[in-house]
Amino acid sequence: MTQKNVLVLCTGNSCRSQLMHGYLTQLLGEKATVYSAGIETHGVNPKTVQVMQEDGIDIAHHTSNHVDEYGAVPFDYVITVCDNAREACPVFPSSAILFHHNFPDPAKATGTTEGVMEQFRAVRDEIKAYARDFARQYFNL
């Protein structure tokens, strides 16, 4: 099996796409190169890094990238993780299979510090389940 290229696309490449990027990288290993990008760049949210560390995945080295940076990459799969990204998603000149799931944006969470972190963890867990299902279905893992 040749290595596949997977792009996870979000609005700001700060939370949801970073979470999915972390899980898919862990799950797919050598079977795929995983990229994440936004239609804007907002920087990687420190709470995203924290909730991934709680689950044993270090994404502290991730950067927030703009989708235009990957124009030359032949993607096999593109996963949009928010409605805004799907609506504004550029057309990829490839035969990429497109997927979409609108996850809640934990960056919009309000309330106490612990309440906000609980919302980050809830979205993390939803994304982890989606990543596992994706890996199982498309990579036979």
In this model, does residue 13 exceed pLDDT 60? yes
Give the CA distances from residue 23 to residues 59, 92, 138, in Å, rounded to whole numbers and listed in that order.
10, 23, 15
Is 15 one of the catalytic residues?
Answer: no
Sheet strands side by side (includes 4-10)? 32-38, 4-10, 77-80, 97-100
Which of 52, 56, 57, 15 has the alpha carbon at shortest distance from 36? 15
- pTM for the whole thing? 0.93
Q: Where are the beta strands (DSSP E) in 14-61?
A: 32-38
Over pLDDT 90: what percentage of the chain? 79
CATH 3.40.50.2300 for domain 4-139, yes or no, is yes
Out of 6, 8, 10, 127, pick the active-site residue. Answer: 10
In this model, does residue 133 exceed pLDDT 80? yes
pLDDT in tens, 55-106: 999 999 999 999 999 988 999 999 999 887 677 766 665 688 999 999 999 9
Q: So what's the pLDDT on residue 120?
A: 97
Q: So what's the pLDDT on residue 130?
A: 98
Is 82 one of the catalytic residues?
Answer: yes
